[in-house]
Structures are given as C-alpha cells and as structure tokens.
C-alpha cells in the first residue's frame, strides 16, 4: 500500500471520526487508520446521554467546552444525518437529577443556581411527592429532584458511524490497519507506518483512546491514559415509555431501541471487557433506587474501557516539540458529548493553527503530564 494524506488519524472512535469529519469539511485529505473497526471502543457502547452540566471537571475547567460541544451537537444533528445517511436517533428529553439522600439536595440546589444563572437550561425544583406525580414508577423515597427542561440522547454507536460515513462522503478514507509507528524528519512526521503499509502524512493525529501510551512513546511525550471500565445494563420494560432521563449515582434512560439503558459503573485498574455479577448487581440496585416501579428483565449486559487521564480531563492539542503532530484523547465518560468540540478544535489547529473553541491555555495540553510516572 502506498498512500498519501494531508492528515493521518490513528483511531476510529468517536473523537477520531469527529476530527476526520471536520478536517474533511475544511478540505483536508484525511486517512483514518483503525485495526479493529469503527466504534469498537467505548463510544460504541456508551449510554449516549449528552449532559454538559455535571461530571468530571464540571463545574470547573471542562464546563465551557462541554457546553460548547452540546450546542454543536444539537445544531448539527440534521445536517450530519443528511450527509452520512445514518440516523443516530437524536432526541431532546426532560431530565431528572434525583436527590437520593439528603446530601444530594444542596449539590442539586447549587446546580440549579448555576443553570438558572445563565439561562442555557430551564429548571424546576420538585419535592419528593412531585417526582412521583410525574411518573408513579419513580422512587417515592427521594429528597426531591431537579427537573432540567431537556438534554440530548442519541445512539452513540450510530453517531460514531455517522461521523465516519460523513467524513468518507466528504472524501476521507478509512484504512483497516493498525498504526505501528511514525517516520520523521526533524520535528515533522513524514509518514505513518501501519500493518498494511506506509502512509505519507502531512500531519498526524493520535486519537487512540486507551492505547494512547503507545502514541506517547512514538511522540516522546508522556500520555498516561488508563482504562476506566464501565458496565451497562440494557433492560426490557413493558408498558408505557419512561419519559424522563434519570440520574442519581448512575444514569437511566429509555432509548429509541425500546430498551432502558442503565450505566455505568466506574471500575479502576481493570483492562478487560468482561461483564460480571458484581456489575450487574450494582446497576440493578440503581434501577431499584431510581425507578422501583419499573417492571424489568435483562436483555443484555455490556462493558467497555473508557480512556481516562490522571486529572480526568481530556488531552487536546499539538504534541510538544513537533510541528505537525497532535493528540486528542482522555475524554473519559464524556467522549460522545465532547467529540464535536474536540474534533473541530483539532481540525482548526491542523488547518489554521488556532481555534475559537475553549481549549486554550494549559488545561488540556499534552505536555502537562511531563514528570508523571508511567
């Protein structure tokens, strides 16, 4: 194989495919290299709940990027479906943040103050009895709940595929091969070595998820990304649909496939994708806490490995000491939500040398892990 590309991307997860899509939109000739296939990592298994107001780094350093990416999602859904031919079933749905015990109440009241302060999301506080008036299958034991007018829900696997297909229809190329190294001249990547041959590269993007340490070795920059295992239950629930996305200690949503998705666990130090009874029990316990009135049976049980950095923030930007190498990884539990913003930010950096998305400063740069023990 003898190929040439303006940009070679290693990794066809949701971040790599988002970068390919935006690069192709900006006129770059893109080749995506992936040995296992599109969406075979965590983006193919995620619940697909787009919540930009809670989670790691929120409130805090990730909030501006999460909100920008949420707005990019909702503004571009129809265009991406039309361009790709893939319906990833995006919907806006009312969302309940449940106070499952008294300690949750001040946290959710503070969240309400933040959300009401900027007007991006409309909210209402519900007392416990009002929660069950919404749906009598919800817990009567809560200490109240914050009702958020709506958040986004989509099929994360199909969303990843839509980005890949959209990029392909704009001229990007997908090569089923594993990236195994880089060729360089001075501070420039000149080619990417793969199991299918060499690809001449004008620029290189490592979007390799839990395999990012390998890219770090090629680039000479520590990328101490670890696996954060997560298990998800998919449940059959006969009867009327649950019209609210729920979040307590975990998330629960009745999705377009007719199943109730419950996820996900956080299991540190595990690198397998086997499901187990402990994970199933923990997830089932959350269903009983949030919606004890749901009649459920297990349809399937999955697991995935999310890429997590030591500070639980994504790694986005140019690789230090390189003129044309970039990194996009470590989005953890927010990969699907953050994919549009990360993808376009990196595309902007490659083609324009800058971006207007909130990724500047030292928050997300790859070199922040120098000195971290691998």
Domains belonging to the chain, first-starting first, are 2-47+158-225+310-369 (3.50.50.60), 91-151+226-307 (3.30.9.10)
Reported as a single tens digit per residue, the pLDDT across 235-265 is: 999 989 999 999 999 999 999 999 999 999 9
CA distances from 15 to 22, 64, 198, 338 (A): 11, 18, 23, 8
Q: What is the DSSP letter of 59?
A: T
Confidence at residue 372, expressed as pLDDT on a 0 to 100 scale: 59
Tell me the average pLDDT across 19-27. Answer: 98
Nearest to 368 by CA among 221, 219, 217, 241: 221
Cα–Cα distance measured from residue 95 to residue 72, given in angstroms and rounded to the nearest whole number? 19
Confidence at residue 1, expressed as pLDDT on a 0 to 100 scale: 62
Nearest to 7 by CA among 207, 202, 138, 279: 202
Q: What is the DSSP letter of 159?
A: H
Confidence at residue 118, expressed as pLDDT on a 0 to 100 scale: 86
In the block, which residue shows the tokens 């990724």? 359
Residue 191 main-chain phi, psi, to 5 deg: -160, 155
Cα–Cα distance measured from residue 272 to residue 293, given in angstroms and rounded to the nearest whole number? 33
Residue 287 main-chain phi, psi, to 5 deg: -60, -45
Residues recorded for the chain: 374
Say if CB 227 and CB 270 are below 8 A apart. Answer: yes
Reported as a single tens digit per residue, the pLDDT across 74-113 is: 999 999 999 999 999 999 999 999 999 999 999 999 999 9
3 state SS of 309: coil
Q: What is the DSSP letter of 38?
A: T
What is the dihedral sign for C-alpha 11, 13, 16, 21? Answer: positive
Q: What is the pTM of this model?
A: 0.96
Reported as a single tens digit per residue, the pLDDT across 187-231 is: 999 999 999 999 999 999 999 999 999 999 999 999 999 999 999
Cα–Cα distance measured from residue 321 to residue 332, given in angstroms and rounded to the nearest whole number? 26
CB burial of 292-329 (b: ≥16 within 10 Å; e: otherwise) equals eebebeeeebbbbbbbbbebbbbbbbbbbebebbbbbb
H/E stretch holding 326: strand 325-329
Per-residue pLDDT at 373 exceeds 60: no
Reported as a single tens digit per residue, the pLDDT across 305-336 is: 999 999 999 999 999 999 999 999 999 999 99
Reported as a single tens digit per residue, the pLDDT across 269-299 is: 999 999 999 999 999 999 999 999 999 999 9
Q: What is the DSSP letter of 331?
A: B
Cα–Cα distance measured from residue 10 to residue 195, given in angstroms and rounded to the nearest whole number? 12
The CA-based angle 11-162-244, given to 5 degrees, is 110
For strand 145-153 and strand 91-98, is the pairing parallel, antiparallel, or unpaired?
A: antiparallel
CB-based contacts of 218, cutoff 8 Å, min separation 6: 181, 182, 206
Say if CB 80 and CB 182 are below 8 A apart. Answer: no
CA distances from 2 to 20, 184, 198, 306, 331 (A): 20, 17, 6, 33, 33
């Amino acid at each position: 194989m003898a190929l040439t590309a303006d940009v070679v991307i290693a990794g066809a997860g949701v971040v790599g495919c988002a970068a390919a899509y935006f690069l192709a939109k900006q006129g770059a000739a893109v080749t995506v290299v992936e040995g296992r296939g599109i969406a075979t990592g965590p983006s193919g298994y995620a619940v697909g709940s787009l919540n930009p107001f809670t989670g790691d780094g929120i409130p805090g350093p990730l909030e501006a990027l999460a909100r920008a990416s949420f707005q990019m999602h909702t503004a571009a859904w129809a265009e991406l479906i039309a361009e790709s031919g893939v319906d990833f079933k995006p919907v806006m749905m009312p969302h309940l943040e449940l106070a499952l015990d008294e300690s949750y109440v001040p946290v959710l009241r503070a969240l309400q103050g933040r959300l009401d302060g900027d007007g991006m999301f409309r909210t209402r506080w519900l007392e416990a009895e009002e929660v069950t008036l919404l749906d009598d299958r919800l817990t009567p034991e809560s200490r109240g709940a914050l009702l958020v007018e709506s958040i986004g829900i989509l099929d994360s696997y199909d969303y990843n595929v839509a980005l890949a297909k959209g990029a392909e229809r704009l001229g990007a190329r997908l090569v089923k091969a594993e990236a195994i190294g880089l060729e360089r001249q001075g501070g420039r990547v000149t080619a990417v070595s793969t199991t299918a041959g060499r690809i001449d590269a004008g620029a290189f993007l490592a979007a390799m998820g839990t395999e990012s340490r390998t890219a770090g070795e090629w680039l000479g920059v520590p990328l101490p990304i670890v696996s954060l295992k997560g298990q998800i239950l998919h449940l059959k629930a006969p009867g009327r649909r649950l019209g609210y996305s729920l979040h307590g200690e975990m998330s629960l949503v009745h999705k377009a496939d007719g199943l109730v998705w419950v996820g996900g666990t956080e299991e540190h130090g595990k690198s397998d994708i086997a499901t187990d009874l402990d994970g199933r029990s923990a997830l089932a316990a959350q269903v009983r806490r949030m919606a004890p009135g749901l009649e459920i049976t297990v349809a399937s049980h999955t697991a995935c490995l999310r890429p997590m950095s030591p500070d639980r923030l994504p790694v986005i930007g140019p690789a230090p000491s390189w003129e044309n190498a970039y990194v996009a990884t470590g989005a953890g539990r927010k990969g699907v939500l953050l994919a549009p913003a990360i993808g376009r930010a990196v595309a902007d950096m490659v083609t324009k040398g800058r971006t207007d998305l909130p990724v500047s400063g030292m928050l997300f740069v790859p070199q922040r892990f120098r000195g971290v023990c691998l």
